[in-house]
Amino acid sequence: GENVEQHPSTLSVQEGDSAVIKCTYSDSASNYFPWYKQELGKRPQLIIDIRSNVGEKKDQRIAVTLNKTAKHFSLHITETQPEDSAVYFCAASNAGGYQKVTFGTGTKLQVIP
């Protein structure tokens, strides 16, 4: 089955700096890669996603890149703000069908004011 590894497990950055979270996946059949943000005690919420036919996607301060050959994908947050502090999860799945999603173990991001 699919295996998703996520690094780092914790990340502290100064407000205004950039944060990068990296994930690798094992199943070459995976073709959909969502990223979720989970604030303390809250539900996971989708912040950005990318399909395997796209190398990069950007939404304001958030961007995701995908390298299918290396089976790597990354989340980039620029100009970080204190409200970006949360746990971020990457995931990989086969879009379509019942969509079995495999999650990474999460990165706790702390933005220091």
Partner 1 sequence: NAGVTQTPKFRILKIGQSMTLQCAQDMNHNYMYWYRQDPGMGLKLIYYSVGAGITDKGEVPNGYNVSRSTTEDFPLRLELAAPSQTSVYFCASRDGTQETQYFGPGTRLLVL
By CB under 8 A, name the binding residues for partner 1: 1, 4, 6, 32, 34, 42-46, 49, 89, 91, 93, 95, 98-101, 103-106
Q: Report how far residue 66's alpha carbon sits from residue 13's, in angstroms, rounded to the nearest whole number.
A: 23
Nearer to partner 1, 78 or 110 (CB): 110
CB-wise, 29 or 46, nearer to partner 1? Answer: 46
Measured from the CB of residue 6, what is the shortest distance to partner 1 in angstroms?
8
Nearer to partner 1 (CB atom), residue 9 or residue 18: 9
CB of 47 to partner 1, least distance (A): 11
Look at residues 9, 7, 12, 10 and name the one whose alpha carbon lies nearest to residue 82.
12
Nearest CA to 90 out of 99, 80, 81, 102 is that of: 102
Neighbours of 48 (CB within 10 A): 19
C-alpha angle 45-111-18 in degrees, rounded to nearest 5: 85
Least CB distance from residue 38 to partner 1, whole Å?
A: 9
